Chain A
């Protein structure tokens, strides 16, 4: 009968979650039991299902490293993933824009010329104040509201 393998893992290096996932990933080859140890450590006991289980310590080490990376990218990107998946759930293809202005090519040209003229005038009037944003239109929600919160706290 094959012998159980016991491996100590430092919880300073890996989270308990990482150890749990890594041990579980070996479930095809061994039964895994986790036991807390003093000094921020956990004991992983592996009972091989077949054979000696000689390769299991190496597989656990590799799995710990891989699981640590997985856990890290999952934690760092949780909000982004939720944002993207929410976007996917509500995503609809953009309707193809049709040219249905009803204007003749001549009328369209005149209109474009007029718009260009007005835009030019606005640009000229804006002048040096062009970079100002008195209404805070370009600010993000966080920029606006975090400033207000900070102000309230100060008072």
Chain B
């Protein structure tokens, strides 16, 4: 919010307008939004009338605006407060996502890897059983009613014995405490075996992998000296897909999911990538932009792109997916689903990178192999580069309270509060967006960053512009809304 000042100059008549943000969209329409998260798209001429307080009463547009809290005299404060409360319900919960880095070792050398992975040999960077168990205990201290423990790396299967023990321990502790504990594994599948897969299924561990598209593209991005990365990925995707399709009474088998990281090599290959996802039986695709952090920063000239190039790629992906959906094929884009959950349903999808404040420490914690705690996995990667700005404690030494009150925890919460960001506080996408202090720090040298020249902001704008552009068209809106309504 701006600093307090007199409501109006004495010579200036009060506008009678309520509080709203607006954005002039590329097509000429103007998007309105408010604190309750309601939006309305106006033609430029209607916006001129609206902002001058001369919009005719009783018209359908006036009624729509009144129902959404854009007519001050007719605002339903109870309804707006309820909507605002619903979309910010996460504020009262503690960290829900707990990322356990089982090892820094990895047998892949992906072009964009942010994790600072070491080679596959040695075990000095493996999480010990004691640290892993202590991490589970720490995660269970969170006030969040349902926590997710995500096993990551490096490649977590390289530390299988400890991973296996931690899964069993987390299940037992969850049962003892009557807590809901979700377990998830992020793996490249290269070390997956039938025995490991069965154990993961039996213990209801959900599985996520990376799939960057057809074999040539995937293998170009994800270098694997030990063989064909793509072949291992699709083999085990099929296995877990088949298990989810069968289901058995003893446990729930989850459908596997995959992440796409877009590099320069992906541009122009939207259809091939989406077709590959369909071929592998995946119904969701997460079109994730590359971040110039970690190893990717060094290779940025080779694999990076501009926000405008990503926006064009993203829009092409959405257009193609909408065509496929119209033809009866079910595939959704995860960024869109997350944003639509906020825009259409007015609820919080629990995505920690795009919320206000961001999830750093208060929504998630990253547990390094040695027990060091970071605000998030990106913060841990900065730590790996020798800068411990985002370190908030250590599971073996520090209390939950101390971690929640750590300077980095508080700094990230402040820096990612959009009301305190000069550009974001006035942005029409504020109710749905979020900034990343780690990204800002890595690319602009401060936790706060500078949004008008921030590439992540430009990427997010591109995604929102594409979504609101499609939502303005009945055919696109019907399909997009169908992605988040049963």
A and B interact? yes
Q: Tell me the chain B residues, 1-33 only, with Cβ under 8 Å from chain A.
A: 1-8, 14-15, 17-22, 24
A18 to chain B, nearest CB (A): 10
Q: Are A74 and B81 in contact (CB under 8 A)?
A: no
Task: Tell me if B452 counts as interface (CB < 8 A to partner A).
Answer: yes
Q: Are A76 and B17 in contact (CB under 8 A)?
A: yes
Cβ of A66: which chain B residues have Cβ within 8 Å of it? 22, 24
Interface residues of A toward B: which range?
20 to 34
Q: Are A25 and B5 in contact (CB under 8 A)?
A: no
Cβ of B15: which chain A residues have Cβ within 8 Å of it? 72-73, 76
13 further A-B contacts with Cβ under 8 Å, apart from A25-B423, A77-B17, A80-B72, are A17-B2, A24-B423, A27-B450, A27-B451, A28-B458, A49-B453, A73-B17, A76-B7, A78-B7, A85-B84, A87-B78, A91-B82, A91-B85
Partner of A87 from B2, B17, B77, B422 at Cβ < 8 Å? B77
Task: Tell me if B204 counts as interface (CB < 8 A to partner A).
Answer: no
Chain A 108-150 near chain B by CB (<8 Å), digits 1 or 0 = 0000000000000000000000000000000000000000000
Q: Tell me the chain A residues, 52-71 only, with Cβ under 8 Å from chain B.
A: 66-67, 69-71
Q: Are A70 and B21 in contact (CB under 8 A)?
A: yes
Q: Are B84 and A84 in contact (CB under 8 A)?
A: yes
Q: Are A24 and B422 in contact (CB under 8 A)?
A: yes
A34 to chain B, nearest CB (A): 14
Task: Tell me if B123 counts as interface (CB < 8 A to partner A).
Answer: no
Complex Cα gap A74–B427 (Å):
12
Partner of A75 from B2, B85, B452 at Cβ < 8 Å? B2
Which 3 pairs from chain A and chain B are nearest by CB? A27-B452, A88-B84, A77-B19
Residues of B within 8 A of A (CB): 1-8, 14-15, 17-22, 24, 35-36, 51, 72, 77-78, 80-82, 84-85, 88, 422-423, 426, 450-453, 458
Complex Cα gap A103–B80 (Å):
38
Partner of B426 from A49, A70, A78 at Cβ < 8 Å? A70
Cβ of A83: which chain B residues have Cβ within 8 Å of it? 77
Cβ of A71: which chain B residues have Cβ within 8 Å of it? 2
B275 to chain A, nearest CB (A): 35
Complex Cα gap A125–B308 (Å):
76
The total number of A-B Cβ pairs within 8 Å is: 90
B161 to chain A, nearest CB (A): 47
Cβ of A88: which chain B residues have Cβ within 8 Å of it? 35, 80-82, 84-85, 88
Which of B18, B19, B20, B22 has its CB near the most chain A CB atoms (within 10 A)? B19
Q: Are A75 and B8 in contact (CB under 8 A)?
A: yes
B315 to chain A, nearest CB (A): 20
Residues of A within 8 A of B (CB): 17, 21, 24-28, 49, 66-67, 69-78, 80-81, 83-85, 87-89, 91, 93
A to B CB contacts below 8 Å, 20 in the list: A17-B2, A17-B5, A24-B423, A27-B450, A27-B452, A28-B453, A72-B8, A72-B15, A73-B18, A74-B2, A75-B2, A76-B7, A76-B15, A76-B19, A80-B18, A81-B19, A84-B81, A87-B77, A89-B85, A91-B85
Complex Cα gap A66–B423 (Å):
13
Cβ of A75: which chain B residues have Cβ within 8 Å of it? 2, 5-8
Complex Cα gap A75–B85 (Å):
23
Cβ of A89: which chain B residues have Cβ within 8 Å of it? 85
Q: Are B80 and A84 in contact (CB under 8 A)?
A: yes
Complex Cα gap A25–B3 (Å):
18
Complex Cα gap A26–B2 (Å):
19
B232 to chain A, nearest CB (A): 42
Cβ of B82: which chain A residues have Cβ within 8 Å of it? 88, 91, 93
A89 to chain B, nearest CB (A): 7
Q: Are B35 and A84 in contact (CB under 8 A)?
A: yes
Cβ of B17: which chain A residues have Cβ within 8 Å of it? 72-73, 76-77
Complex Cα gap A49–B450 (Å):
15
Cβ of A77: which chain B residues have Cβ within 8 Å of it? 17-19, 72
Given A75-B2, A83-B77, A91-B82, A26 and B452 contact (CB-CB distance below 8 Å):
yes
Q: Are B1 and A74 in contact (CB under 8 A)?
A: yes
Cβ of A91: which chain B residues have Cβ within 8 Å of it? 81-82, 84-85
Complex Cα gap A24–B80 (Å):
31
A135 to chain B, nearest CB (A): 28
